[in-house]
Amino acid sequence: MPNRSSDALFQLVKSLEKSEKRNFKLYVGRNSASEDLKIIQLFDAMDKMETYDEALLLKKNKGIRKQQLSNTKAHLYRQILSSLRLIKNDENIDIQLHEQLDHARILYNKGLYLQSLKILDRIKENAKAHNQTTFLLQVLFFEKKIETLHITRSMQDRADRLTAEVDDVNCHLQLVSRLSNLSLQLYSWYIRNGPARNKADEESVQRFFEKHLPSDLSLCKGFYERLYLYQSYTWYAFIRADFLQYYRYTQKWVDLFEKEPFMITIETAHYIKGMHNLLGAHFDLLNYQKFIETLGVFERFSVSDIVLHNHNNRIQTFVYLNISKINRHFLDGTFTEGLALVPQIEQKLKEYEIYLDRHRILVFYYKIACLYFGSGDYEKTIDYLNKIINWKVDLRTDLQCYSRLLHLIAHYELGNYDILEHLIRSVYRFMAKMENLSRVEEEIFTFLRSSFKLTAAQIRPELGKLLEKLKMYERDRFETRAYMYLDIISWLESKIRNVPVQDVIREKYLRGDRG
């Protein structure tokens, strides 16, 4: 497991770029009080550390006493944020609106009510132009306060207009809240469980979806209402393995940004996630040409100023772009070529380890393991799968299960028959405990158990029989998980023909079987 320091201040210091560190020191330098000199000392000490070690920090910096450390860290944290706010105030529309709202409050406190109202009018126009409905509500409540406490004579029907505006904004916010809750709950279900395992799973998700989906979808006219509506349908379709519906709604998600391009700057993370899911939909449907076109768009976006000048955007783009790059090699059967991506991915995983959630790291480990498996390096496959298997099982139980199954098959390929019987029992128990056994997996386990007794001459016909059985399940939605995580059909074909699995997949791609 990566070393993930939980110290918030250390993470903040390590996230700063050179220009931000320089700006911080200039900011603090304007006030050279003894307390500020101490926070500079603490800042420099943390900046030099690879991992946070409080005992070592105190030992090397005698001027910082243990009794003072907590308060000094809190002061340093606030000062860093204050310095960042000064240089980041033009990057985010919400920061700009907050600043303008602060100005309106300052004018109000000075008794300059009409000037305050003029700024509030400008904020409203700016917020409407950028779909920032939550700010509209803050502004409207401030306007109501001024109108209630002071006679402004700004307009005769002011009360009626303000009341109507507040009612309209509240209606939008309630719809956004309901849809964003639905989207979040569905995504959380997927992160915990993966795709629906059976009819009971699907019916449970369907009941939840129908219960919480607003009845009048014609009201979804604003940007955020539609964004969360499309996201909800995206997760709902993906959980149910309805890949065509998954594609339709990920495309609507991305199209929403293309119709209002300025929102890419405001909601960059949502755009990145939308592109990731659109690429995922093309991958699941084997739409190779569309996949390549969308990947090209995403690669060009990855070198735009929006990404390069924002730390969070760089990290998220790295994650989703490289997952798609690996998927491209899965589609066209160039597994060995894809291994060239691994060193850079490993380097970035180390660089970004304090920012990445464990789910993303697990996905990378599994994808890399599959690259090695497809290229025939089963030892390396096992190394990466062990990174997943040795991790605490508290999310993506589906990924944990298929990591163990691929781990078992890699040992089978290596001929480690002395441990296979134990592994088969262990993996079977684990998957059964997680209620993750499908008919495809049952057939695989049955074959592996019986294969110990077969001679080389006998095993090929049995592989053929297994292949025919598994082909029957390819179009069963509740069996698609096995094919999503492991191209078991191509693996069996490779065993029957005695050729590398990537050669089989490559031939399918060249024949046009993969879009």
Do residue 84 and residue 22 come from a single domain? yes
Q: Is the pLDDT of residue 32 over 60?
A: no
User: Does 118 reside within a domain?
Assistant: yes
**Percent helix, strand and coil across the chain, each to the nearest 5:** 80, 0, 20
| 290's tokens | 């569309």
Distances (CA, A) of 22 to 17, 36, 78, 370: 9, 15, 16, 43
Residues 46 and 102 in one domain: no
Task: Please identify, among 35, 66, 88, the residue that sits at the C-terminal boundary of a domain.
Answer: 88
Q: What is the pLDDT of residues 242-264, one digit of tens each?
A: 999 999 999 999 999 999 999 99
304-318, 327-341, 347-361, 390-404, range with the lowest pLDDT: 390-404
Chain-centroid distance of CA 22 in Å reads: 31
- Where among 154, 189, 205 does a domain terminate? 154
Residues 82 and 100 placed together within one structural domain of the fold? no
Residues with Cβ within 8 Å of 423's Cβ and at least 6 positions away in sequence, in order, are: 407, 408, 411
Q: Residue 61: which domain range?
A: 8-88
Is residue 70 domain-shared with residue 97, that is, in the same domain? no
pLDDT of residue 2: 42
pLDDT digits (tens, 9 = 90+) for 424-443: 888 888 878 766 677 888 88
Looking at residue 303, its amino acid is V
Residues 15 and 84 in one domain: yes
- Integer-rounded Cα Rg, in Å, for the chain is 28
- Let me know: does 509 contact 288? Beta carbons within 8 Å: yes
For the cut 80, the answer to whether the pLDDT of residue 123 exceeds it is: yes
Query: Which residues, at least 6 apart from 432, have a Cβ–Cβ distance to it below 8 Å?
Result: none
Domain for residue 21, yes or no?
A: yes
Domains: count for the chain:
2
More confident position, 386 or 391: 386
Between 56-60, 138-142, 249-253, 431-435, the lowest mean confidence (pLDDT) is in: 431-435
Residue 141 counted as domain residue? yes
Residues 128, 62 share a domain: no
For residue 109, being part of any structural domain is answered with yes
Model pLDDT for residues 67-122, shown as the tens digit of each residue: 888 898 999 999 999 888 877 666 678 888 988 999 999 998 988 988 999 999 99
pLDDT grade for 269, boundaries at 50, 70 and 90: very high
Pair (78, 103) in one structural domain = no
Given a contact cutoff of 8 angstroms between Cβ atoms, the answer to whether 254 and 275 are in contact is: yes
- 125 has a pLDDT exceeding 80: yes
Q: In this structure, is residue 208 part of a structural domain? A: no
Residue 1 pLDDT: 40
Rounded-to-integer distance, Cα 291 and Cα 279, Å: 6
Residues 16 and 78 grouped into a single domain: yes
Residue 442 resides in a domain: no
Instruction: Look at the pTM and tell me if it is higher than 0.85.
Output: no
Last residue of a domain, one of 38, 65, 88: 88
The confidence score (pLDDT) of residue 441 equals 80
Backbone angles phi, psi at 123, to 5 degrees: -60, -40
For residue 158, with 0-12 CB atoms within 10 Å meaning exposed, 13-18 middle and 19 or more buried, which class applies? Answer: middle
99 and 82 in a single domain? The answer is: no
Residue 28 and residue 71 in one domain: yes
In a domain, 20, yes or no: yes
Residues 28 and 81 in one domain: yes
Question: Which tokens sit at 92?
Answer: 């985010």
Q: Are residues 18 and 83 in the same domain?
A: yes
* Residue 281 covered by a domain: no
